[in-house]
A and B are shown apart, each in its own frame.
Chain A
Amino acid sequence: MRGFSVPHCILFFSTVLLLSARSSPAQAIDKQQAMLLTQQGKFQEAKEAWLQLAAHAPNDYVVQANLGLVLAQLGDYKDAIAAYHKSLAAHPSEPGVRMNLGLAEFKQGNFAAASSSFSSLASTTPPDPRLETLLGLSYYGQQLYEKAIPHLTIASQNDPSNPQLHYVLAESCLHGRKPECTLTESQKLLQLSPDSAAAHMLLGEAYDGTKQENEAITEFAAAAAANPSQPNVHFGLGYLYWKKHDYDQAAPEFKAEIDHDPKNAQSLTYLGDIAYRNNNDDEAAASLLKAVHLQPNIRLAYFDLGCVYARENKNADAITAFKEAERLDPTEPDAHYRLARVYLASGQKQKADAEFVKTKSLHQKEQESIIEKMAANTPADAPAN
């Protein structure tokens, strides 16, 4: 299994919620024909039939509901949504139509609208496991992980053998900064899909989040073994080694990622960083330059590039690189300080002084902020002993 995705999950739900034709006798035959075509899966013909009916009775909620259904089956979610809205405008209390509307919105990628439709439905109908799943997925699609987690938890409890549900729940927990939940769900996922590289990576992320570095490395290594071409698996492993300052182990992983994806700017950056630390300035500069050309928003790449140039006394180049690093994150003092030192080395004292002032100011703000936080956490009359 290469991975999991939301579309995989949603395939389990079909949008076959037909409304029976119960309209006036004059239109009854046409509606029945249209319904038959729909039931036979002749969606293009059914669409024409429902459109004709709609032209004569634009406010007929049954016609609009079935038109929407057929349009959705044909992949025309935009028009389907419009038809469902017309149906609901005429008959707001029809839960099947609202469900179909939510599904169409979800499939169109409008997760906010979908979650709104599903929420509205959930508030007026008895508890429904499918709705929990759809709500959870809608929130997940909006990256509202905190909101997604309770719905996905119920959904995965109702369908414990569904690996996709465990995956999205584990991912939600990861991004929702709930490491224990990430750990539990990724372990469940691995039981269902023991050879899944994605599952091993998620478990590795969970371990990383709980500061179990060695276990994280083990899982990422298992992921790389399960699928060496899994995107980001070597980068992830390399990064974990880099974080432990184990540059000898990290470098081959970044190289492996680059072998699979020569445009992986992150891997190029860290490889350049390691080369810089090992005093291989030429190698570092080459790697870092590639990285910034591919992705010009990686601060570390510019910062390291500045350091390499400064070490080689290429002050003008160093200034350019440090300024870029500074632009990408003006709140980090290191680039300001390095830039100031290079300005000073190149005789630009005023500019150096300005950067020194920024460096000092950032440190002072940081310290004052820590003191404020400490004071806020300290009870007024609470002696430590």
Chain B
Amino acid sequence: MRKPGAAEFNRREFLLLGTAASTMALAQGIASRGVKPQPRGKPSGLPFLAHFTDVAAKAGLVAPTIYGGIDHKQFIFETVGCGVAFFDYDNDGWLDILVLCGTRADSPPEATNRLYKNNRDGTFIDVTEKAGLVRTGWASGVTIADYNNDGYEDIFITYYGQNVLYKNNGDGTFTDVTEQAGLAYTGPTRWGSGCTFLDYDRDGHLDLFVASYLAVDLNKIPKPGTNPMCSYKEVPVNCGPNGLPFAKNFLYRNQGDGTFRDVSETSGIRKATSTYAMTSVAADFTGDGWTDLYVASDSTPSLLFVNQHDGTFKEEATERGVAFSEDGLEQAGMGVGIGDYTLRGRLDIFKTHFSDDTDVLYRNDGTGQFTDVTLAAMLGVETRFIQWGTGFADLDNNGWPDLFIVTGSVYPEVEAKFPQYPLKSPRLIFRNLGNGKFEELIEEAGPGISAAHCSRGCAFGDFDNDGDVDVAIINLNEPPSLLRNDLKGNHNWIKVLLVGTKSNRSAIGSRVIARYGGKLQAQTVTAQSSFYSVNDRRLHFGLGAAQLADLDIHWTNGAVEKLTGVKAGQFIIVKEGQGITKTETWTSLDKS
């Protein structure tokens, strides 16, 4: 890719100029390098034990996620979609699901976010109204954590317009406390996008980072097709983000009394401008024990805010190798997965992009410097689809974290002319081969993977408490998918829920390094990743044949706790400073 908007040379001009750029330009609204997939290697032939079936309808997740037009999308905010969350709002030990929602021109009353309570039998019940969460608007991202350390998980949702903080009342209901918390916004219209709770100053109170995608005024967005940023493959489509105004990102410091204070300027967050920010992930990427922030950015350089340990951040994505492709070109950063794919105890970053481009895998070298290893990892084989929600998860419990990705187009108008760019497309699994390389699986992983949808956010969690990783997925203008993992074989696992005492109670930003069978793997507790979504806060480690695991817990406030010889096949709760406070041994549910 050359820069968006740059002229495309023809062959004769190359001859005349005697020079050429290494890649070609596409004048369009979203950055894509226009690359060809790298050749696939020979199939490994290894069996894949995970098998995914979409059980959403059977489980009662039937309401469609209304999000703009179906066959035509006039505005960019109809296209981007929203996130989904696995969390336990009622502390019953079973994952509930929050499904965000958009709306459309006629504001249908059924267009609302939905909270589904887990019935503990593989089904869910819609408790949205009872919980006080009915709300219609263009919801984008969600972050969930216990911001007031009262033992219940709270919800923050970004919108086109005013973002919303819901306090969990602990009785199955939520209260909109946006204004009381000091999060009301009165500036020009902004479009909230990624968001994450984090404890950047290690005071035990969760702060809040809120990204904005665009500063967009509906009356000033040009019509589809009116300029190069409003067409794709010469088909008129909704405009942007390229060409639309940038918005500001925000950091709010938790003052410990239920209110937040805007520290965007003093913290250095506001120094990063000119970015279309999307999914935001808080984690210790530099290994210094302090929480950093990575923000995937669409068609602009992605951001890495490195914690300076004094209440400020320095944006160093370019310097650390996680802003661009390996050639220093922008990509359409949307979803982010964080994981330790080489089992070296370091957090690597995977970021999803547009079609005709590869996703990117940045390998962490242990000092907070990253190297683009996309091609070496064989992840460049797939460029057909627009890719969104993603995550590292050990789907087959073999001890090596795999990659999962959901896909879907933003241009329903294009499919008619170019069938190779479908609106709905399959989910993708890249199984970790354990040698630094991945292998793409679609049909091999079950009908829930090969089914085509126009998906956006996805969340990873074990909704049926059977010791594997399931996936909840947003599908635009369709009900969500709930992919149940019917894992075969006898690989072991362990699941860890951290509860902070000095650190924030949700342990957001804490890291666990598990040692098992001669391997070690790092995982971190996040409050947003994938695409605008929230994963099960219980960290899941596949252990392969190992029966025991040692756990090093690096709490958010810097303390380190070590647990040795923890038995496989169980879920444990570890309270900061108190060790294991609860264990549960789970058996698989009857999935017939």
Residues of A within 8 A of B (CB): 174-175, 205, 208-209, 211, 232, 235-236, 239-240, 243, 245, 265-266, 269, 273, 295, 297-300, 303-304, 328-329, 332-334, 336-338, 340-341, 344, 352-353, 356, 359-360, 363-364, 366-371, 373-375, 377-378, 381-385
Q: Which of B81-89, B176-184, B322-330, B447-455 touches A?
A: B322-330
B21 x A299 contact (CB < 8 A): yes
- The total of interchain contacts (Cβ-Cβ below 8 angstroms) comes to 139
Q: Is B582 an interface residue (CB 8 A)?
A: no
Distance in Å: Cβ of A111 to nearest Cβ of chain B = 18
Chain A neighbourhood of B569, CB < 8 A: none
Of the candidates B15, B19, B24, B227, the one whose C-beta lies within 8 Å of that of A373 is B227
Chain A neighbourhood of B496, CB < 8 A: none
A328 x B19 contact (CB < 8 A): yes
Chain B neighbourhood of A205, CB < 8 A: 10-12
Distance in Å: Cβ of B5 to nearest Cβ of chain A = 5
- Name which residue of chain A comes closest to B242, CB basis: A370
A363 x B22 contact (CB < 8 A): no
B22 x A300 contact (CB < 8 A): yes
Distance in Å: Cβ of A1 to nearest Cβ of chain B = 20
Check A333/B328 contact, CB under 8 A, given A273-B22, A360-B301.
Answer: yes
Can you sample 30 A-B contacts with CB below 8 Å?
Answer: A209-B10, A236-B11, A239-B11, A243-B11, A245-B36, A299-B19, A299-B21, A300-B19, A300-B22, A334-B21, A336-B328, A337-B324, A340-B319, A353-B319, A356-B318, A359-B324, A363-B3, A363-B300, A363-B301, A364-B273, A367-B242, A371-B244, A373-B5, A374-B222, A374-B244, A375-B220, A377-B227, A378-B221, A382-B223, A384-B218
* Complex CA–CA separation, A370 to B242 (angstroms): 7
Chain B neighbourhood of A273, CB < 8 A: 22
A356 x B274 contact (CB < 8 A): no
Q: Is B479 an interface residue (CB 8 A)?
A: no
Of the candidates A208, A329, A368, A384, the one whose C-beta lies within 8 Å of that of B74 is A384
B274 x A243 contact (CB < 8 A): no
* Complex CA–CA separation, A338 to B242 (angstroms): 24
Instruction: Give the interface size bracket for B toward A.
Output: 35 or more
A373 x B328 contact (CB < 8 A): no
Chain A neighbourhood of B300, CB < 8 A: 363, 367
* Complex CA–CA separation, A208 to B10 (angstroms): 7
A337 x B19 contact (CB < 8 A): no
* Complex CA–CA separation, A120 to B229 (angstroms): 46
Q: Is B219 an interface residue (CB 8 A)?
A: yes
> 1/0 contact trace for B3-18 toward A, CB 8 Å?
1111000111011001
* Complex CA–CA separation, A373 to B2 (angstroms): 18
A334 x B328 contact (CB < 8 A): yes
Residues of B within 8 A of A (CB): 2-6, 10-12, 14-15, 18-24, 35-36, 74-75, 105, 218-224, 226-227, 229, 234, 239, 242-246, 273-274, 300-301, 318-319, 321, 324, 327-330, 369
Of the candidates B24, B35, B328, the one whose C-beta lies within 8 Å of that of A359 is B328
* Complex CA–CA separation, A148 to B2 (angstroms): 32
Chain B neighbourhood of A370, CB < 8 A: 4-5, 229, 242-243
Chain A neighbourhood of B12, CB < 8 A: 174-175, 205, 208
A377 x B11 contact (CB < 8 A): no
Distance in Å: Cβ of A240 to nearest Cβ of chain B = 6
Distance in Å: Cβ of A160 to nearest Cβ of chain B = 25
Distance in Å: Cβ of A108 to nearest Cβ of chain B = 25
A266 x B15 contact (CB < 8 A): yes
Check A329/B220 contact, CB under 8 A, given A243-B24, A266-B14, A359-B328.
Answer: no
B327 x A334 contact (CB < 8 A): yes
New A-B pairs, 18, CB < 8 Å, besides A245-B35, A295-B18, A377-B222: A211-B234, A236-B15, A269-B20, A340-B319, A341-B321, A353-B319, A356-B319, A359-B328, A360-B318, A363-B300, A363-B330, A367-B274, A374-B222, A374-B244, A382-B223, A384-B74, A384-B239, A385-B105
Check A300/B227 contact, CB under 8 A, given A338-B327, A356-B319.
Answer: no
* Complex CA–CA separation, A307 to B12 (angstroms): 26
B75 x A384 contact (CB < 8 A): yes
Chain A neighbourhood of B5, CB < 8 A: 366, 369-370, 373
